Amino acid sequence: MKTLNYITYQTFPASTANSLQTISHLNHFSLKGWTVRLFFPLREMGSTDNVEELNSFYQIDGNIEVNGIKHPYPFGKIKILEKFMYSISHYLWCRNFIKNGLNLSSQEYYMTRSDWIAYYLAKSGNNVVFEIHNYSRTRNYVLRKISKFENIKLIFLTEELRNSFSDIPSRYEIIPSGVDESLFQEVSNKDLDVVFVGNLKRFGQSRNIDFLIRVFSENNELQNIKLTVVGGPSEEVKRLKKLLNKSGTNIDFWDLSTEKKQLLMCREQKWAF
């Protein structure tokens, strides 16, 4: 039986689109017969590796071994200079865990979306798949450092994203984002809805959901398509709701900060991104 170790700096449970994608990804590996292990830092007050809580939150069908790892670093505890605290804590946690907290095996597979996890795993000589979802200067630096290693394989979402990096390993694939077909019934164009799921802020800054509101309210071709925004925090939901008074009626919000059943709604929608 093949074993996949997924190591990430994400935290769980979380209402972010990234955490939903990660759990869905691992769930499918488990249903295909793989032994699946998830490793992540307990970096937030609500972080937990309690399997029952995570199964309830994400509606997991497969069997995923969950390992929450101690996180004695400032991010998640100090609410100033969050971007800097994230960067330094991310680096320190990854380096310490790969070097001192993980029993590496050449017979197993490793997967991550973390720059520094990919860096230290590549140096260890083990087989690692590195998911790349966006560009950053740190990521570009890390790819230059690990481009000589043959034990790492990259996954890019688009050709344009792959071309944005200056130097990459020769082993890579371009695999666009997809959907979990098991969640969808037959789709009719006349019955199509769109859902945005995720945090509405990152490091205290808006993620520009205002743009989506303008597009769906001002574009005549989208007037018959409903946009549902699922996320938090509550103050950002309240701010965005005020824009609805100036926009169309085909936009709705679900506040994950106060509602606990919103994730079930995603299983009933016709489309999601």
Give the residue extent of every domain in the chain. 3-174, 184-266
User: What predicted TM-score, i.e. pTM, was given to this entire model?
Assistant: 0.71
Q: Which fold has domain 184-266?
A: Rossmann fold (3.40.50)
- Cis check: omega of the bond before 13, within 30 degrees of 0: yes
Domains 3-174 and 184-266 agree in fold = yes
DSSP three-state, residue 161 = helix
Class assignment of domain 3-174? alpha beta
The string of pLDDT tens digits covering residues 187-198 is: 555 556 788 877
pLDDT at 167: 79
98 vs 271, higher pLDDT: 98
Question: In the structure encoding, which two tokens stand for residue 112, read together?
Answer: 């991550």
Mean pLDDT of 51-62: 86
pLDDT band at 177; cut points 50, 70, 90: confident
Closest alpha carbon to 132 in 159, 114, 145: 114
Closest CA to 67 of 103, 34, 92, 20: 103
Q: Predicted confidence band at 271 (pLDDT cuts at 50, 70, 90)?
A: very low
Rounded average pLDDT over 35-60? 91
Secondary structure element (H or E) that encloses residue 47, with its range:
none
Determine contact, residues 47/68, Cβ cutoff 8 Å. yes
Q: Cβ distance 138 to 87 under 8 Å?
A: yes
Q: For residue 247, how far is the Cα from the chain centroid?
A: 30
